[in-house]
Amino acid sequence: MLAGCQAGPDFVRPRPPTVGSYVSGTTPSAFDAGSGEAAQRVVEGQEIPAAWWQLFHSPVLDRTVRQALAGNPGVDSARATLAQAQQAVLQARGADYPQVDLAATAQRQQGPASILGQQPGHSLPLYNLYTVGPIASFSPDVFGANARRVEQQASLAQYRAFELAAAQLAVSGDVVTEAVTAASLRAQIDATREIIAGDDRNLALVQRKYAAGRTARSDVLIARAQLSNDSALLPPLRQQLAAAEDALAILAGRFPAQGALPRFALSDFTLPAELPLSVPSALVRQRPDILAAEAQLHAASAAVGVASAQLYPDITLSATLASAALTPGALFGSSGTVWSVLGGVTAPLFHGGALQAQKQQAIDALRAADASYRQTVLQAFGQVADLLRALDHDARLVADEHEALDVARASLELQRAGYAAGRTDVLHLLDAQRADQQARMGYTRALAQRDLDSAQLLVAMGGGWTEDQALCAGCRDSSGKTP
């Protein structure tokens, strides 16, 4: 009954935001790129699958993500940190029960002769005293200090569980990002090689005209310069590709030299035709970072209760039952049993304002945690809004780049034919080739950006995590494995 009194405020979960949309105006319902490109439709309220990356319908991507989740050291570290926090909860709960210890002492003493049953003399005799027996102590949690400590540690364990879920979500998102980036770079490298092959054809064409005396040597130099400039585009692209492949290896918990990772291509990914979009009120219950901030807020609230309880008296009860004897062989005789019972109260009187400052410090920390939670929610909603707009712009960009590529290809073929017939000069040919190069690279990047932003939106939605799934992220089954 006494333990039912808990100092400090009871935690109340923050209410979900009341906004009905992520963006001002109407939430986009579809992203149509036209020109035969894939279209996307937003489905509000649809549940996001836990393995959200499977929406790209890539078995090789699915295997890579699962390998990363199983071998990533950051995820392993977060899982171990969660286990540590769970043990801290058990440690705090131990104070709710009596503490029983076994004490044994052996000491050499000098005392009055009457203790030994001897006649008083001129000197105090020396003797040995042996004691052994249990000691029990208990501190009733009258004002709920330990209950608040347990609440605080449990909230911190929840925070670690959500941190583990966030780490797993981040790893899966990073794997998809690096895989799409690597695929995009390979496509850009292939496009650059095609451009270089076109430069070779242009140079051969100019050299034939020069050999026939139909053009100046300066045209040959210009064509060679164009070939050299386009060839210089390959090393930076290859370096970026190597960096993306190394990042994939590290995410999977491997050294870059070990390799053995798949070579992704843009054709390995199918743009999700339907993008699940959680309603705004549900986002705060499925994004791990928001749930982690809420758990920290809960822990800060419990810390106020701990600091408040320090202002009240502390009660301690203890009891000792021991056997005492002058020789070890007589320890367990019935005549040497001693016992004691102690009850004590310690009440704070004057601490120089330290206890009040400690409570105010906890209150200020609670306010800071509340502000941090609200900031996390705002940033989450802003991220979703930015990605929704980005997907709309991506679709328009793909349509524009597709049209630009068609025009550039047609223009380049006309300029090549015109130059071969002597109707145009080499500068017009190179300008057409440069426009074709820019259109190819722009179209490739636009396709990849659509995949990237689609993946980022699914991550921003929480990647299919729910509160219960996040709390079970560190659960263990009977074999000690994570389900």
What pLDDT was estimated at residue 467?
Answer: 67
Structural domain contains residue 104: no
Higher-confidence position of 299 and 476: 299
- What is the mean pLDDT of the segment spanning 133-160? 88
Both tokens assigned to 268:
């390995």
Give the pLDDT confidence score for residue 473 in this predicted structure: 56
pLDDT of residue 480 exceeding 50, the answer is no
The per-residue pLDDT for 124 is: 67
Residue 340, token pair as written in the block: 């004691």
Q: How confident is the model at residue 436 (pLDDT cuts 50, 70, 90)?
A: confident
Looking up tokens 């932003």 gives 453
The yes-or-no verdict on residue 476 having pLDDT over 60 is: no
Sheet of 126-138, strand order: 99-110, 126-138, 314-325, 337-346
Radius of gyration of the chain from its Cα atoms, rounded to whole angstroms: 37
Q: What is the pLDDT of residues 75-115, one digit of tens each?
A: 999 999 999 999 999 888 888 888 888 888 888 877 664 55
pTM for this prediction = 0.84
Mean pLDDT of 311-315: 85
Domain range for 210 is 35-97+144-312+354-471
Q: Please report whether residue 225 resides in a domain.
A: yes
Q: List the CATH number of the domain containing 56.
A: 1.20.1600.10
Percent of the chain residues topping a pLDDT of 90? 36
Scored b (16 or more CB within 10 A) or e, 159-190 reads: bbbbbbbbbbbbbbbbbbbbbbbbbbbbbbbe
pLDDT tens for each residue of 164-223:
999 999 999 999 999 999 999 999 999 889 888 888 888 888 888 888 887 788 888 888
pLDDT for residue 65? 93
CA dist 196 and 231 (Å) reads: 6
- Average pLDDT (276-302) is 92
Q: What is the pLDDT of residue 477?
A: 39
Distance CA 142, CA 342 (A): 17
Instruction: Return the HEC string of 204-273.
Output: HHHHHHHHCCCCCHHHHHHHHHHHHHHHCCHHHHHHHHHHHHHHHHHHCCCCHHHCCCCCCCHHHCCCCC
Q: How many domains does the chain have?
A: 1
> Is 3 among the domain residues?
no
- State residue 133 phi and psi, 5-degree precision: 165, 170
DSSP codes of every residue in 154-192: HHHHHHHHHHHHHHHHHHHHHHHHHHHHHHHHHHHHHHH
Determine, yes or no, domain membership for 342. no
Cα(305)–Cα(298) distance, rounded to whole angstroms?
Answer: 11
Does the residue 392 lie in any domain? yes
Please report whether residue 75 resides in a domain.
yes
Higher pLDDT, 422 or 15: 15
In a domain, 476, yes or no: no
Window from 206-210, 246-250, 372-376, 474-478 with minimum mean pLDDT: 474-478
pLDDT recorded at residue 4 = 52
Average model confidence (pLDDT) for the chain? 85
Question: How long a stretch of residues is the chain?
Answer: 483
In a domain? residue 301: yes
Query: Does the pLDDT of residue 483 top 70, yes or no?
Result: no
